Amino acid sequence: MRLNIAIFFGALFGALGVLLFLVAFGSDYWLLVMEVGKCSGEQKIENVTFHHEGFFWRCWFNGIAEENQPDLWKFWYVYRGFWAVLMLLGVVAVVTASFLIICAAPFTSHILYKVGGSSYIAAGILFSLVVILYVIWVQAVADMESYTNTKMEDCLDFTPSVLYGWSFFLAPAGVFFSLLSGLLFLVVGRHIQLHH
């Protein structure tokens, strides 16, 4: 009976992890930016610009001058390519884990439960690397100070506000559920190996 409960919660947490990954990487609210400033030619008019950025793409309202930092943008796309590969490897790991767990039911092979659990853990680790790389990008690599100085040449009292969006916060929750599911399936596989 306890084994059935562990399998149920492992499957539930695995499904939650997959769902959260799909929503997080499929939506475009990883980074929210609001710019407020009085620009040249706009007497007493405050210009407010909203930007939101997804994992693979970005959207702007009222535009951003990308030509100010061409080398930085080239590096940005290489960096995105690297974490896109990690994300695709994580998707392969989580799909493989789900398939192995389905094939392992009911209690047929402890090896399939262990390999499936290990794949869930590998997916959690890969997705956590993706989140860490994104945070490193936002905090260390993106040169917001240079961008702000460039914008202040044309705009008075220019103030950017950078916040992580709701899509960003779904990814660590998916990592948590994936790791928890993997640990549960490893315990189930160990229990089946010892007692069956």
Mean pLDDT over the full length of the chain: 77
Q: How far apart are CA 80 and CA 88, in angstroms?
A: 12
Residue that wins the pLDDT comparison between 75 and 61? 75
Over 60: is that where the pLDDT of 71 sits?
no
For the record, the structure tokens of 176 come out as: 């948590």
- Does the predicted TM-score (pTM) go above 0.85? no
What does CATH list as the number for 2-27+66-146+166-195? 1.20.140
| Residue 116 pLDDT | 92
Which tens digit of pLDDT belongs to each residue from 7-38? 899 999 999 999 998 888 888 777 777 777 66
Q: CB neighbours of 173 closer than 8 A, spacing ≥ 6?
A: 20
